A and B are shown apart, each in its own frame.
Chain A
Amino acid sequence: MWRERKQLQVSPRQAAFLRRRKIRKYTVLGVQIALLIGFFALWEIAANKQWIDPFLCSQPTEIWATAKEMAQNGMLWQHIGVTLSETVIGFLLGTLIGTLLAILLWWNHFICDVAEPYLVVLNALPKTALAPIIIVWLGNGQTSIIVVALLTSVVVTIMTVLNGFLQVDDEMRKLVRVFGGNKWQVLQKVVFPANIPCIVNALKINVGLSFVGVIVGEFLVAQAGLGFLIIYGSQVFKLSWVLMSVVILAILAALLYEAIALLEKQILKKRM
């Protein structure tokens, strides 16, 4: 398509419009990058000039040195690996189980009506409050952390996906029915495929939620992972550990979100 468009003669006004758009796009990007660099630069200068206490606030060069050292002895990769795997397993399981439960509630209206008030309360409840109980029940280990991560995302997945299921046009279901199709076919041919974008969207939300669950879990279990580095670093006043972990978490969250956004784009392209 774009190739066809390129071949067309572009009027001067249209060219000017396109140029303005392009300039604006790059200005926004430029300011974004400048803000990021400016923030770190100011932080560094402020620490060097003793405007802020480098012992309490650390500084970018020191964080970088810490990261380099930990990367060289392999500790960094180990902690990142632990947190990342827990998070990915957590949000995939949360989305899968949430979707399956949403299907159950869609299938059986009685169960759906019975579950409604409980879902509303569970949705409002901060799931991390359950973390200590999970650790008591499932032990001080990775299983507990993954379960906490899963719990943070499962309820909101149920609600999002169920809502999507219920919004499918009644006439589309009628279409399956008038061909003699059964309820399973309504789900398989219409309701589920219609909601794939909705499920991918739930996946996107769950990345962030799952990170919350994992970090809180790691605070409590305190064995490995970036959450462990944060809590341990703060206890022994190694602020460079804490801040490095936070920066890495931000990068990981952004990468995971982008990965799912890319997946979403692929899916939407395939189905228009």
Chain B
Amino acid sequence: MLPMISLQDVSLSYHSPNGETRAVSHLSFSVAEGEFVTIVGPSGCGKSSILSMLSGLIAPSAGTVQVNGNMGYMLQKDQLLPWRTIRRNAQLGLELQNKLTPENIAFVDYMLEQYGLGEFKDRFPAELSGGMRQRAALIRTLAVKPDVLLLDEPFSALDYQTRLSVADEIGTIIRKEGKTALLVSHDISEAISLSDRVIVLSGRPARLKKIHKIELSVADRTPMKAREAPEFRAYFNTIWKELDIHVA
């Protein structure tokens, strides 16, 4: 089966008047259908650049990137437009892709209802909590029925409490909808609790350091339950050490 996401020998450099910065170096990996993969790496190592390349916002300097199917992207902050109601915000992607059909509008309303935003759909973003806003942002992304989700640290702007529950909610929603997902994060426990595989990158320029297959012995795995698995600690320590080398 064709992977949903693949990078082959990808390198990326940024140019500025002060010189050339190598952000990514000879990186290859792929994500299979229905898989949830997280990329972790030291901050500023070029993790987000990988998503930018996959979404076509920037072109790699060398190598090939490929996404098979429709792509949805979740940004760090919810970026809900303050002058639109939650419902109209959730329809934004459809509007931009000229897909604002009655069926799709009904689909958005169904998801808002399903994920607990039904009674808030005519409210404005400022009236909602951070977690609810991020959920609305996810519905906006899911509305265009993407096959692949790219998540660029979508929980990092939330406070710790909210962050745990939102990561749990959103991880559960993504699994339920059967989407392929590639998450970028700097939070190791978040990565382990959400993913099938964790890709560890080196510091800048980002190179592939290790890929961990996350196998946890919990029934009905949800991100919250995953944190209680006996293997969790070991994965955490291993990845922590791998990330630490360049920092220390």
- Interface set of A (CB-CB < 8 Å, partner B): 169, 171-172, 174-181, 185, 189-190, 193-194, 196, 271-272
**Cβ contact within 8 Å between B75 and A171:** yes
**How many positions in chain B have a CB within 8 Å of any CB in the partner chain?**
20
Q: How far is the CB of A168 from chain B (nearest CB, A)?
A: 11
* Given A179-B96, A196-B83: 17 more A-B contacts, CB < 8 Å: A169-B79, A171-B79, A174-B57, A175-B75, A175-B92, A178-B71, A178-B73, A179-B73, A179-B97, A180-B96, A180-B97, A181-B96, A181-B97, A189-B81, A189-B92, A271-B83, A272-B83
Q: What are the residues of chain A within 8 A of B95 when measuring CB–CB?
A: 189
**Cβ contact within 8 Å between A172 and B79:** yes
Most buried by B among A172, A175, A196: A175
Q: What are the residues of chain B within 8 A of A179 when measuring CB–CB?
A: 73, 92-93, 96-97, 144
Q: What are the residues of chain B within 8 A of A190 when measuring CB–CB?
A: 81
Q: How far is the CB of B87 from chain A (nearest CB, A)?
A: 14
Most buried by B among A176, A177, A179, A196: A179
Smallest CB gap from A178: residue in B: B73
Smallest CB gap from B71: residue in A: A178
In Å, the complex CA distance between A272 and B82 comes to 8
Q: What are the residues of chain A within 8 A of B93 when measuring CB–CB?
A: 179
Contact with A along B97-131 (1 / 0, CB 8 A): 10000000000000000000000000010110000
**Cβ contact within 8 Å between B96 and A176:** yes
Main secondary structure of the interface of A (DSSP, over half): helix
Main secondary structure of the interface of B (DSSP, over half): loop
Given A171-B76, A272-B124, the answer on whether A189 and B96 have CB atoms closer than 8 Å is yes
Q: How far is the CB of A172 from chain B (nearest CB, A)?
A: 5
**Cβ contact within 8 Å between A171 and B73:** no
Q: What are the residues of chain A within 8 A of B83 when measuring CB–CB?
A: 193-194, 196, 271-272
Q: What are the residues of chain A within 8 A of B126 when measuring CB–CB?
A: 272
In Å, the complex CA distance between A181 and B140 comes to 14
How many pairs of A and B residues are in contact by the CB < 8 Å rule? 49
Q: What are the residues of chain A within 8 A of B127 when measuring CB–CB?
A: 272
Q: Sample 26 A-B pairs with CB under 8 A, ordered by A number.
A: A169-B79, A171-B75, A171-B79, A172-B79, A172-B81, A174-B57, A174-B75, A175-B75, A175-B92, A178-B57, A178-B71, A179-B93, A179-B96, A180-B96, A180-B97, A181-B96, A185-B96, A189-B92, A189-B95, A189-B96, A193-B83, A194-B83, A196-B83, A271-B82, A272-B126, A272-B127
In Å, the complex CA distance between A175 and B72 comes to 10
Q: What are the residues of chain A within 8 A of B77 when measuring CB–CB?
A: 171
Smallest CB gap from A180: residue in B: B97
Q: How far is the CB of B77 from chain A (nearest CB, A)?
A: 6
B55 close to A (CB within 8 Å): yes
Q: What are the residues of chain B within 8 A of A196 when measuring CB–CB?
A: 83
Q: How far is the CB of A250 from chain B (nearest CB, A)?
A: 35
Most buried by B among A176, A181, A272: A272
Q: What are the residues of chain A within 8 A of B82 when measuring CB–CB?
A: 271-272
Q: What are the residues of chain B within 8 A of A193 when measuring CB–CB?
A: 81, 83
Smallest CB gap from A175: residue in B: B79
**Cβ contact within 8 Å between B76 and A177:** no
In Å, the complex CA distance between A196 and B83 comes to 10
Q: What are the residues of chain A within 8 A of B81 when measuring CB–CB?
A: 172, 189-190, 193-194
**Cβ contact within 8 Å between A178 and B75:** yes
Q: What are the residues of chain A within 8 A of B75 when measuring CB–CB?
A: 171, 174-175, 178
In Å, the complex CA distance between A189 and B71 comes to 20
In Å, the complex CA distance between A218 and B97 comes to 52
Q: How far is the CB of A164 from chain B (nearest CB, A)?
A: 14
Q: How far is the CB of B99 from chain A (nearest CB, A)?
A: 10
Q: What are the residues of chain B within 8 A of A178 when measuring CB–CB?
A: 55, 57, 71, 73, 75
Q: What are the residues of chain B within 8 A of A172 when measuring CB–CB?
A: 79, 81
Q: How far is the CB of A19 from chain B (nearest CB, A)?
A: 31
Smallest CB gap from B125: residue in A: A272
Partner of B57 from the list A169, A177, A271, A272 (CB cut-off 8 Å) is: A177
In Å, the complex CA distance between A196 and B93 comes to 22
Q: Which 5 A-B pairs have the closest CB atoms?
A: A271-B83, A178-B73, A181-B96, A179-B96, A272-B124
Q: What are the residues of chain A within 8 A of B73 when measuring CB–CB?
A: 178-179
Q: What are the residues of chain B within 8 A of A174 when measuring CB–CB?
A: 57, 75
In Å, the complex CA distance between A194 and B83 comes to 8
Smallest CB gap from B95: residue in A: A189
Q: How far is the CB of A185 from chain B (nearest CB, A)?
A: 6
Q: How far is the CB of B53 from chain A (nearest CB, A)?
A: 12
In Å, the complex CA distance between A174 and B144 comes to 16
